[in-house]
Chain A
Amino acid sequence: MDYYETDFLTPDEEFELRYADEMEVLHEMEQDEPSSSHRSTSKKILNFDSQPMSNGSSTPLSNEKRKENKDELTASEKLSPLPLADVDKPSTFRSNGERLSFSQEPGCSYSNKRSVDDLFGDIDDIDFDIDLPITSKRARVEDIIVQNEAVDKDMLAISRILEKRREIQTAQNNVLDVSYANIPELSKTEITLTRRVPKYAFVTLRNGKNEKFYAKLHSDEALNVKIISVSEACKSFRLLSVPFENILSEANAILDQKFAAIESGAKSTEVSSHLKSDVTELWVQKYKPSSYLDLLSDESTNRTLLKWMKLWDKAVFGRELKIVSKHKPEREESRFTKKNFQELDEELDDSGLPKFKTVLLCGPPGLGKTTLAHLIAQHAGYNPVEMNASDDRSPEIFKQQLEAATQMKAVLGKNPKPNCLIIDEIDGAPAPSIEVLVKFAKGELKTKGKKKAEKNIGKLKRPIICICNDVYVPALRALRQIAFVIRFPPTSLSRLASRLMEIARAEHLTTDSGAMMKLCEKANNDIRACLSTMYCLKDQPLRLSSIEKVDIGNKDMQKGLFAVWQDIFQLSSYHNTMQIILKSVQGNGDYDRLAQGVYENYLDIRISDGSMKSISKGLSWFCFTDKLKTHIGRTQIYTLMSYLPYAFVMWGFLFSNYQRNKINYPSMMYELNARRTKYFESVQEILKGMDPKIRAHCHYEQLLLDSLPLFMFILNPEFKAINIQLFTNSERDTLRQLVSTMIDYNLNFVQERTQSGNYEFNIDPNIDEVVEFPDVPKTKHLTYSLKMMISREIEQEKLRRLEYSMHKFHVNDDQPSLVSHYDELPADIPSNFDEVPEVLTETELPKSQNHLQKLTPKIIKKSTKPLIITNSSRNCCIRTVLFRNGAINLNVIFLTFSTPRL
């Protein structure tokens, strides 16, 4: 400081400041003044952290500042001896203070002082008595300026500055005049500009009247010192048009207003604040919503997700949940007829975690899913950690990431927040990775320790938000079941349009809301696409016509099937029906299903066609599409595909009307195929079980067309419902024939339970339904008891045939018969039918009365001539017999086996 003062105070050492340098300083002062005042009033949020020079100021200045701050503490009431200090105060104060402390803490000046202390170190050594010299010094600087400006023009500027300053000072109601009074005094002490040629170094100047002046020339370093001092003085000399208290109160008021605005939900202020951001930034990035209230997406969706996030509060932050009264949501539900997501289960499980560990956000691109997830996570006090398709998502790495994100948290930073994992574009992740996630969410994931000991990672304790476009990707199936699925409804057109209007206003685009609506419609409510198109068209006024005309930003819209059908069947008021239909049909692309839908619905829609001509014409177009498609399929000439949509145009012309039609999803083809397969299977079943001799002459089509329909008659002869024993010969004959036929064709009656709980015998395989048609008078069927009887007869006959073949086998084998009582069976099976009842009576009726009969062990006839199993082939034969004859002959055979041992 000494150096400074001595350097400054000795006038005869150096020449005074040069003209140009002086002007520079003046400019600086002039510019500084209005801009600072502008900033303090117009800006809501102002970042002063990057203010230049404030930290790099030289010692005198810092001292000064410190002193000034110190002064402020005491001199807020009594008038400070330093008039300029007051002025300086706000800027220095703000440069260090934070916004929040500014508004909240009453002792702001104290805290500020401390921060200043932190900045500049100990201030005890500062002498407060230097106040006066400093002010006088500053005054002297100005004095020099005044003296230097001998030129009229320059003088004018100086006088203006002085005037301004005076104004400020008077306005401040300060005692600046004390120091100001020094100026004339000082001006006498130093002469830097003379008319005569001076002794010291000088430069010659001329004014307008060609008068010569000689200005003192300073040495370079002295000049530099002076420039710095002046400029710094100017820095600290930041002039405010209003006192600091006023600004503070004003700022507080603005802040209050802003909070109030946020609470009331007004969002428009946000947009304006974006104005300052970098021009080169993409608009999508630039106007990204920065708070929950800025979100454009559907309000109920946002709230559901937020609600879910809040469910984690207990587990993550230890806060108790507020149980929302159940009444309110119910009322809301009733307003929405169609819900986009399942009801959120607000119950927590035993460990205080929400029931759904993950949320699956799904919806088409451009609705703001990712933005929503990030914002909600931030809003709920989490630190969002994102994983997306650009990351490696092999199961191993995925697992690592999962663990890292959910079980660790940042230790650096002032206020470490818990993480919230956001897995973006999960539909592209490999299935094993998703399995890992599912297991993790269920708490089943285990890590293999080094010593084979499996350690359970434990439960998932952080929320995970998954985002996908297509929720029905097979890989997501498992996740879908455990996650809380939120379907993203499309953004409402009006909200999007109004936001676009705001942006347009902020970007100074001329447009109207109609154009914006059109833009939204064109982009199919894709926010990103809208902004890109707007960006592209920003140099011209955006009008409805220009948006319609422009061929960019046309999103390739894929309409749903029903929307396309509606387009076809509902005659729109637009003139160009053909274009509309073509576009929507081509947009969908599923011509096959679309055609089927038109086919199955057109008759319900078009009622009045007296001559049937247009229907006939429309149908010939169906034939055309079918032929064309088959041809494409056969020859693989796919260029012909482009002709397919034109049929839809034709149908549109032929079948459409002005009403809104109810359209059903085409399902006839599916039902047809299902039934056809069923009937086909039935006939195949018959073919499989048929007698090969008959099968050789029988084929599917013959069976279906000739044999089976007539079976309906042949298999339903008239019988009296009496015991089989009482049948006459001819009836027995008929029965025999029936049973034989049914066996030949693999038919039988089986008992089935009907829906009403009754039992009935149905033919199996069910040829009845294969051959019967509705509306055709049905043939009468056999009664229940008769069917039962026939069924029993069929079983018996089958057994008999089997045993007969067995018998024949033994006879051929020339072996002692093991099943002796079948010996009397005649060789020819078909003719033995009548004798069977006798056989049965013979075997079943005992000789004596039942109660008198004694059970005697069966005598082994062949004991004297035991069966010796000599070779393996015979053994094999006997085993086969045993197997086929079943339990009846089991004893006998066992005995036979045991005899050789005896």
Chain B
Amino acid sequence: MSLWVDKYRPNSFSKIDYHKEQGQRLKNLVQHGDFPHLLFYGPSGAGKKTRIMILLRELYGSGVEKLRMEHMNFQTPSNKKIEIMTVASNYHIEINASDAGIYDRIVVMELIKNAAQTHQLDANEQREFKVILLTEVDKLTKDAQQALRRTMEKYIATCRLILCANSISQVIPAIRSRCLSIRVPSPSNVEIVSVLLNICKKEGLTIPMELATRIAEKSEGNLRRAILTCEACKVNQYPFDKNQKIVEPDWQNYICETANVILKEQTPQNLLNVRSRLYELLCHGIPTELIFKYLLKQLLTKCDMAVKREVIQVASDFEHSLHRGSKVIFHLEAFVAKFMAIYLQYMEDTVRAV
């Protein structure tokens, strides 16, 4: 536990740095020893998981921190064996069902039935229910979500579900209505800065306010990344300089560079070049929505207001079609080609106007 991210993770509601009011409400929720199914949602790096763990600690005491990793095996009807990694304590089990891909339905069904059909051994000393923590619910297939909705109600006596998702738009309404939804918004830049200052103080370092602000801005509301970036900056150069370079993940640089390649030249030859870069990004497992996001962001900096609207529309169209298809590279390249065509047209028009 030597990374700052892990080291300075709060472990009680009193220690959390932001959303204190929400923390207090959560504390009140579990005070009486019972709670409904919960659905935590919010952007990555906002502190959903931290809050869930604090909640469990409030509920079961420090025993919940004695974690172990377990491999669970499931068998599909077609006799395919799936192995899923779970993190569990005596009181809860955490699983990411979307690891099983299209077989997530089986995982959800089996797991919940298994967990729910066994009662706690000593119900007097502990709570009479276990907690099942399902992460990345928004990535579950519709089938799995449908399977979840009935079991959630059926086994409410013996288990509580805590669902965790980045966005609830992908969660079916039936599940949303069965849960108490708790949104964990990402911290504001000010909050991030204060967290960074706090950590540096504990580490015995002095960080210039400007640097902290810049890191907070770069991290886009992702506290985890902010802290990691801060640490990376520290390793890179200490004592801090307020104008020092802030490290960024390679993939992000690469996407921006790709956008620059697109802007430089709009020829079929260059499109081939862009394609190989897109392939590179895809095989590193960078999610397509991020590729679209950063590509568009970078491309728009060089676009006139009139073109911006069109480009954004095109990007959203292709991102939509990407989700309806299966070969993402087609849609990415189609977007790039379309942008090139629009950009060329725009350049031509401006030249003609002059």
Cβ-defined partner of A612 (8 Å) among B235, B254, B279, B341: B341
Write out the residue numbers on chain A whose beta carbons fall within 8 Å of the beta carbon of B338: 616, 619-620
Given A623-B330, A705-B290, A630–B325 Cβ distance below 8 Å?
Answer: yes
**Distance (Å) between the CB of A606 and the closest chain B CB?**
6
Given A606-B268, A699-B96, A770-B284, A710–B231 Cβ distance below 8 Å?
Answer: yes
Docked Cα-Cα span, A616 to B247, in Å, equals 36
Q: Mark A686-699, 1 if CB is under 8 A from B, else 0.
A: 01101111111101
Say if the beta carbon of A631 comes within 8 Å of chain B: yes
Say if the beta carbon of A1 comes within 8 Å of chain B: no
Say if the beta carbon of A706 comes within 8 Å of chain B: yes
Say if the beta carbon of A299 comes within 8 Å of chain B: no
Q: Contacting chain A: which of B34-42, B62-70, B168-176, B180-188? A: B62-70
Contact assessment for B250 and A603 in the assembled complex, using a CB-CB cutoff below 8 Å: no
Cβ-defined partner of B257 (8 Å) among A612, A613, A633, A776: A776
Contact assessment for A679 and B334 in the assembled complex, using a CB-CB cutoff below 8 Å: no
Contact assessment for A775 and B268 in the assembled complex, using a CB-CB cutoff below 8 Å: no
Contact assessment for B325 and A603 in the assembled complex, using a CB-CB cutoff below 8 Å: no
Say if the beta carbon of A702 comes within 8 Å of chain B: yes
Docked Cα-Cα span, A612 to B290, in Å, equals 25
Contact assessment for B340 and A775 in the assembled complex, using a CB-CB cutoff below 8 Å: no
Docked Cα-Cα span, A284 to B96, in Å, equals 66
Contact assessment for B235 and A771 in the assembled complex, using a CB-CB cutoff below 8 Å: no
Contact assessment for B6 and A744 in the assembled complex, using a CB-CB cutoff below 8 Å: yes
Contact assessment for B235 and A713 in the assembled complex, using a CB-CB cutoff below 8 Å: yes
Q: Mark A95-130, 1 if CB is under 8 A from B, else 0.
A: 000000000000000000000000000000000000
Say if the beta carbon of B303 comes within 8 Å of chain A: no
Write out the residue numbers on chain A whose beta carbons fall within 8 Å of the beta carbon of B326: 626, 629-630, 633
Cβ-defined partner of B341 (8 Å) among A616, A688, A704: A616
Cβ-defined partner of B285 (8 Å) among A680, A696, A699: A680
Write out the residue numbers on chain A whose beta carbons fall within 8 Å of the beta carbon of B344: 610-612
Main secondary structure on A side of the interface with B: helix
Residue of B nearest to A713 (CB): B232
Contact assessment for A776 and B345 in the assembled complex, using a CB-CB cutoff below 8 Å: no
Given A680-B285, A775-B254, A710–B232 Cβ distance below 8 Å?
Answer: yes
Docked complex: A231-252 residues within 8 A CB-CB of B: none
Say if the beta carbon of A676 comes within 8 Å of chain B: yes
**Distance (Å) between the CB of B200 and the closest chain A CB?**
15
Docked Cα-Cα span, A182 to B316, in Å, equals 121
Write out the residue numbers on chain A whose beta carbons fall within 8 Å of the beta carbon of B67: 692-693, 695-696
Docked Cα-Cα span, A184 to B40, in Å, equals 137
Contact assessment for B325 and A626 in the assembled complex, using a CB-CB cutoff below 8 Å: yes
**Distance (Å) between the CB of A798 and the closest chain B CB?**
14
Say if the beta carbon of A852 comes within 8 Å of chain B: no
Residue of B nearest to A678 (CB): B283
Cβ-defined partner of B249 (8 Å) among A679, A690, A710: A710
Given A631-B324, A706-B249, A714-B232, A741–B2 Cβ distance below 8 Å?
Answer: yes
Cβ-defined partner of B44 (8 Å) among A608, A702, A744, A772: A702
**Distance (Å) between the CB of A856 and the closest chain B CB?**
42
Say if the beta carbon of B128 comes within 8 Å of chain A: no
Say if the beta carbon of B1 comes within 8 Å of chain A: yes
Say if the beta carbon of A701 comes within 8 Å of chain B: yes
Cβ-defined partner of B87 (8 Å) among A695, A714, A737: A695
Docked complex: B1-37 residues within 8 A CB-CB of A: 1-3, 5-6, 9
Say if the beta carbon of B236 comes within 8 Å of chain A: yes
State how many residues of chain B have any CB contact under 8 Å with chain A: 75
Contact assessment for A773 and B3 in the assembled complex, using a CB-CB cutoff below 8 Å: no
Given A611-B344, A702-B224, A710-B228, A692–B330 Cβ distance below 8 Å?
Answer: no
Residue of B nearest to A770 (CB): B284
Contact assessment for A707 and B228 in the assembled complex, using a CB-CB cutoff below 8 Å: yes
Write out the residue numbers on chain A whose beta carbons fall within 8 Å of the beta carbon of B236: 713
Say if the beta carbon of A889 comes within 8 Å of chain B: no
Sorting the interface of chain A by its residue count into under 10, 10 to 19, 20 to 34 or 35 or more gives 35 or more
Given A688-B69, A693-B67, A706–B96 Cβ distance below 8 Å?
Answer: no
Say if the beta carbon of A292 comes within 8 Å of chain B: no
Docked Cα-Cα span, A733 to B222, in Å, equals 28
Say if the beta carbon of A498 comes within 8 Å of chain B: no
Say if the beta carbon of A627 comes within 8 Å of chain B: yes
Write out the residue numbers on chain B whose beta carbons fall within 8 Å of the beta carbon of A691: 1
Contact assessment for B247 and A675 in the assembled complex, using a CB-CB cutoff below 8 Å: no
Say if the beta carbon of B130 comes within 8 Å of chain A: no
Residue of B nearest to A736 (CB): B2
Cβ-defined partner of B3 (8 Å) among A688, A714, A772: A714
Contact assessment for B283 and A672 in the assembled complex, using a CB-CB cutoff below 8 Å: yes
Contact assessment for A697 and B334 in the assembled complex, using a CB-CB cutoff below 8 Å: no
Write out the residue numbers on chain A whose beta carbons fall within 8 Å of the beta carbon of B331: 623, 626
Contact assessment for A630 and B275 in the assembled complex, using a CB-CB cutoff below 8 Å: no
Docked complex: A703-736 residues within 8 A CB-CB of B: 704-707, 709-710, 712-714, 716-717, 736
Given A622-B334, A626-B330, A710-B232, A741–B3 Cβ distance below 8 Å?
Answer: yes
Contact assessment for B50 and A697 in the assembled complex, using a CB-CB cutoff below 8 Å: yes
Say if the beta carbon of A200 comes within 8 Å of chain B: no
Cβ-defined partner of B334 (8 Å) among A604, A623, A675, A740: A623
Contact assessment for A693 and B340 in the assembled complex, using a CB-CB cutoff below 8 Å: no
Docked Cα-Cα span, A688 to B84, in Å, equals 11
Write out the residue numbers on chain B whose beta carbons fall within 8 Å of the beta carbon of A627: 321, 324-325
Docked Cα-Cα span, A453 to B338, in Å, equals 78
**Distance (Å) between the CB of A790 and the closest chain B CB?**
14
Given A630-B326, A676-B282, A701-B287, A611–B341 Cβ distance below 8 Å?
Answer: yes
Docked Cα-Cα span, A630 to B136, in Å, equals 24
Interface centre among A627, A668, A741 (most CB of B within 10 A): A627
Contact assessment for A692 and B87 in the assembled complex, using a CB-CB cutoff below 8 Å: yes
Docked Cα-Cα span, A706 to B44, in Å, equals 10
Contact assessment for B6 and A694 in the assembled complex, using a CB-CB cutoff below 8 Å: yes
Say if the beta carbon of B271 comes within 8 Å of chain A: yes
Given A622-B330, A631-B324, A713-B247, A737–B285 Cβ distance below 8 Å?
Answer: no
Say if the beta carbon of A615 comes within 8 Å of chain B: yes
Say if the beta carbon of B251 comes within 8 Å of chain A: yes
Contact assessment for B249 and A771 in the assembled complex, using a CB-CB cutoff below 8 Å: yes
**Distance (Å) between the CB of B344 and the closest chain A CB?**
6
**Distance (Å) between the CB of B42 and the closest chain A CB?**
13
Write out the residue numbers on chain B whose beta carbons fall within 8 Å of the beta carbon of A692: 67-69, 87
Write out the residue numbers on chain A whose beta carbons fall within 8 Å of the beta carbon of B6: 693-694, 697, 744
Write out the residue numbers on chain B whose beta carbons fall within 8 Å of the beta carbon of A717: 235
Given A607-B268, A676-B282, A776-B254, A612–B228 Cβ distance below 8 Å?
Answer: no
Contact assessment for A714 and B222 in the assembled complex, using a CB-CB cutoff below 8 Å: no
Write out the residue numbers on chain A whose beta carbons fall within 8 Å of the beta carbon of B229: 710
Interface centre among A676, A680, A736, A773 (most CB of B within 10 A): A773
Contact assessment for B330 and A599 in the assembled complex, using a CB-CB cutoff below 8 Å: yes
Q: Mark B237-281, 1 if CB is under 8 A from A, else 0.
A: 000000000011111111001000000001111011001000111
Docked complex: A647-679 residues within 8 A CB-CB of B: 668-669, 671-673, 675-676, 679
Q: Mark B188-219, 1 if CB is under 8 A from A, else 0.
A: 00000000000000000000000000000000
**Distance (Å) between the CB of A663 and the closest chain B CB?**
15
Say if the beta carbon of B135 comes within 8 Å of chain A: yes
Write out the residue numbers on chain A whose beta carbons fall within 8 Å of the beta carbon of B329: 672
Write out the residue numbers on chain A whose beta carbons fall within 8 Å of the beta carbon of B321: 623, 626-627
Contact assessment for A679 and B284 in the assembled complex, using a CB-CB cutoff below 8 Å: yes
**Distance (Å) between the CB of B170 and the closest chain A CB?**
15
Contact assessment for A744 and B1 in the assembled complex, using a CB-CB cutoff below 8 Å: yes
Write out the residue numbers on chain B whose beta carbons fall within 8 Å of the beta carbon of A683: 285
Q: Which 7 A-B pairs give the minimum distances between C-beta atoms?
A: A709-B249, A626-B325, A713-B232, A740-B2, A692-B67, A619-B334, A675-B283
Listed in ascending order, the chain B residues whose CB lies under 8 Å from chain A are: 1-3, 5-6, 9, 44-45, 49-50, 53, 65, 67-69, 85, 87, 94, 96, 99, 135-136, 222, 224-225, 228-229, 231-233, 235-236, 247-254, 257, 266-269, 271-272, 275, 279-287, 290, 318, 321, 324-327, 329-331, 333-334, 337-338, 340-341, 344-345
Known A-B contacts: A697-B49, A830-B1. Give 5 more (CB < 8 A): A615-B341, A623-B318, A676-B285, A702-B44, A712-B250
